[in-house]
Amino acid sequence: METEKQKGLEPVKVETGPIELPTIDVTPYVGKKAKITDAETMQGGYGYCVRVQTEVVETIGDGEKKVELRGSRIFGLQMDEDGNVGWGADTKLGHFLAKMKAKTLKELVGKEVTLQIQTSKTGTDFLSFA
C-alpha cells in the first residue's frame, strides 16, 4: 500500500483558518438559452457518469483568473451484468434524453437548454439546466 509520501503528500506547517473565497453571481443567467457543446463519458470514484456542458455564456476576468461560465450537469451511468455501461429509460439521463428528443449522447450536442441555478451540498450556486 502506498504511503502518503509516495502519493506526493508531505506534512507542512502553515497557519490555517477561515478565508473568503471568490464567488460568482449566476442569477443573471437564469432563464437564458444555451446550446449543449459536449456530452462526455467519465469515470470516477463512484463509477461512470456523463458530464453534459453548454457553450460558454460569459467569460469573467482575464489571465490566470479567467473563468468561463457554462451550464453543466452530471448524470450517473449504470453497469449491467455483462459489463455494459449505459442508462435505463427511467433514469435521470433517460428522461433527459427523451425530453431533448435524442437517442444517443452525441445527439445532445447542438440542442438548446434553459439555464438554471443548482445549489451544491456546500451551498455554492452553479449553472445547470433542466
- As beta bridge partners, residue 51 has 40, 74
Q: Which three cell numbers stand for residue 36?
A: 449543449
In the prediction, which pLDDT does 6 show? 52
In the prediction, which pLDDT does 45 show? 85
Domain ranges for the chain: 37-111
Under a CB-based contact definition with an 8 Å cutoff, are residues 49 and 39 in contact?
no
Quickly list DSSP for 31-74: T-EEEEEEEEEEEETTEEEEEEEEEEEEEES-GGG-EEEEEEEE
Q: Assign 44 a pLDDT band (cuts: 50, 70, 90).
A: confident
Across all residues in the chain, what is the average pLDDT?
A: 90
Q: What is the reported pTM?
A: 0.78
The amino acid sitting at 46 is: Y
Given a cut of 90, is residue 3 above it in pLDDT? no
Q: Which three cell numbers stand for residue 127?
A: 449553472
CA dist., res. 81 & res. 50, Å (int): 20
